[in-house]
Amino acid sequence: MRIDRIKLADFRNYAAQEVYFDPVCNVICGENAQGKTNLLEAMVCLSTGKSHRTRSDRELIRFSQQGFQLEGGIYARNRAFTSRIEVGYGRKKRITVNEVPAKAASDLSAVLNTVFFCPEDLQLIKDGAAARRRFIDISLCQLRPRYAAALAEYQRLHEHKTRILRDCADRPDLIATLPDFNLRMAETGAVLIHYRARFVRMLASCAAAAHKECSGGREELDLQYKTVKTVSDPFGDHKLLVVQLLEHQRQHHYAEVSSRQCLSGPHKDDIEVLLDGLSARSFASQGQTRTAALSLKLAAREIHREIIGEYPVLLLDDVLSELDPKRQEYVLNRIGDGQVFITCCEEDRLHALLQGSVYRVKNGIVTQ
């Protein structure tokens, strides 16, 4: 799959811009704060329906404007698609694919899949569990619409339950509704665990191979999925998972009410990264964690290809400048098939090395 064309109107610092891209390699260069990342962010939006860097769509609107429009010309599954997102102008957010209104953001990911890689991702291993959950959520939401639906419902339930627990001192009557929330959270939570366990297993085998190659065969990488304690087997039957999740909620009921926090459920999941059997988070060196993060990201790309049958669009945001020459070469060799977008600064000579179409970004204007 590839992005042939993108059109932005009042998105971030772009007023009105239409760009046509190369089917293989695109190098986007420009000085700092000119809009390189914003261009990649627009592509992520077209595949997931939201931005990876903000919580609110309003932040994506150009300053002092009422709304933004994004349009992408995408070639996938051997045909052309046009995806469009419109936010603001005093209306509800509108998403269309080939002029047909989309019911959910997952309709966008049925057309376009992206794997986005930015310098912060190199901290994936050292960061808290939330960063690793976000990493698997982004991939799984694109690959499994049922997961995306369950995650959206779970997050909404989690928010409501937190609100109930927080306000239950003033409104003791709210506590009576808690069992209903608990049951539905266990049901959707079980769906999340089902997919996460399988995804981590796939990721582990792909990442181990990538890591072995990148570290010159010296290190073994392994991943372990950590979920709610009472779950005996995350690959187990859905009904059994629900029972076990309810059991954990029951045990933590008093703790939840007294601490006024939602303590039980898969929103606390983690993936533990092991290097040669040791926890990478505690013991790995700076270089090792970077290599491991790199392996995870490239493994995600392989999984997309295995499931969808096409390589997703790879977006590399300023990553190469953060890597040493050996790892740079490794990433570049791995790109192979599929379309790639790379951003870099004007000064470095990377774009000479890459042999792709070069685009220059200056103050929200793209020139070829």
Contacting positions for other proteins (CB under 8 A): 143-146, 149, 194-195, 198
Which tokens is 246 given?
A: 């309810």
Judged by beta carbon, residue 88 or residue 145, the one nearer other proteins is 145
CB of 143 to other proteins, least distance (A): 8
Instruction: Give residue for tokens 């070469």.
Output: 329
Secondary structure class of 230 (helix, strand, coil): coil
User: What is the Cα–Cα distance from 78 to 347, expressed in whole angstroms?
Assistant: 38
DSSP string for residues in 83-138? EEEEEETTEEEEEEETTEEPSSTHHHHTT--EEEE-GGGGGTTTS-HHHHHHHHHH
CB of 110 to other proteins, least distance (A): 9
Angle at 225 between CA 220 and CA 231, to 5 degrees: 145
Judged by beta carbon, residue 146 or residue 362, the one nearer other proteins is 146
Judged by beta carbon, residue 152 or residue 178, the one nearer other proteins is 152
CB of 20 to other proteins, least distance (A): 32
Annotate 162-174 with b (16+ C-beta within 10 A) or e (fewer).
eebbeebeeeeee
CB of 146 to other proteins, least distance (A): 5
Annotate 16-43 with b (16+ C-beta within 10 A) or e (fewer).
ebebebbeebbbbbbeeebbbbbbbbbb
CB of 145 to other proteins, least distance (A): 5
Residues sharing a CB contact under 8 Å with residue 169, sequence separation 6 or more, in sequence order: 260
Judged by beta carbon, residue 97 or residue 143, the one nearer other proteins is 143
> Comparing C-alpha atoms, which of 330, 165, 295 is closest to residue 219?
295
CB of 295 to other proteins, least distance (A): 22
Judged by beta carbon, residue 145 or residue 236, the one nearer other proteins is 145
CB of 237 to other proteins, least distance (A): 11
Judged by beta carbon, residue 153 or residue 322, the one nearer other proteins is 153
Judged by beta carbon, residue 129 or residue 202, the one nearer other proteins is 202
